[in-house]
Amino acid sequence: MVQPRENLDSVRHPRAATGLRRAADDLPSWIAGQDLTEADLPYIHLLLETSFDDWIEQSEGFPWLSGWPIVLLHPDYTEVAVSGAAANEGLPVSWRRESTGPTAAGMALESCRPALMRAEEHEHPALRSRDTLAVPIFSRSTGFVFAAIVCSAPAGAAGAGGAQAAAGCGPSFQELPVPALRASVRRRPAACGNPSEPRGPAQGPAVGDHAANERPHRRGKRTGRSVQQP
């Protein structure tokens, strides 16, 4: 059976915004079972950016959407998207450790767990008055980290509520209408760190069971703590 041209175009050209914004139920059944692999990582920046826009649109009322800057990072620490009323304020130019020092973003990507870092624990001047929260996003079948969502909040504003919001980001991002980017936080990989290094099969408890570079457009010693859930 021949698919309508619109459907074929959206499959052949996954970068097209119209294709990425379609509901998952409208896509062919075979694509709903597709997942990212580590070989895809160098090529998913645009997919992540467009999917982040979709997530922001669909997440009205989500605890983090309170005017604070929200950043989507690739595992290579590239900032692929940013949102928030103060998107150009309170953020470092680069999220790489050698430029920014320790941040919740680095902790989340390396530990594979949601993380919170208080303002006084930061070394970068742009973050000395900000708390940072971050949560890694996992591929749903292989369990490797393909992104991290980071929030920069005024000092002292994160608290327990921010930690709970961080832990909820993974499942929220999972609901994106792009099947290949739907993540699962039910399993986490045995090891994190360099995205180019091979990792073993996904294992371990759910991330939800634990508590909670450079900009293309403007695009550490470790301190802080992992976010612990009650």
pLDDT value of position 88: 53
Nearest-CA neighbor of 129 among 91, 83, 166? Answer: 91
Nearest-CA neighbor of 214 among 92, 48, 62? Answer: 92
Fold classification of 35-226 is Beta-Lactamase (3.30.450)
Sheet holding 70-73, edge to edge: 79-83, 70-73, 145-154, 130-138, 115-117, 225-226
Interacting residues of 150 by C-beta distance below 8 A, sequence separation 6+: 70, 71, 72, 73, 95, 103, 104, 105, 108, 132, 133, 134
Q: Which whole-number Å values give the CA distances from 87 to 51, 52, 71, 159, 166, in the listed order?
A: 18, 14, 8, 21, 18
Report mean pLDDT in 10-residue bins for the chain, 230 residues.
35 38 53 71 87 78 67 90 66 81 88 88 83 85 85 74 58 47 39 44 33 38 43
Asked whether the whole model's pTM tops 0.75, one would answer: no
Distance CA 105, CA 114 (A): 9
pLDDT value of position 100: 82
pLDDT value of position 74: 92
Any idea where the domains of the chain sit in the sequence?
A: 35-226
DSSP state of 188: B
pLDDT value of position 36: 76
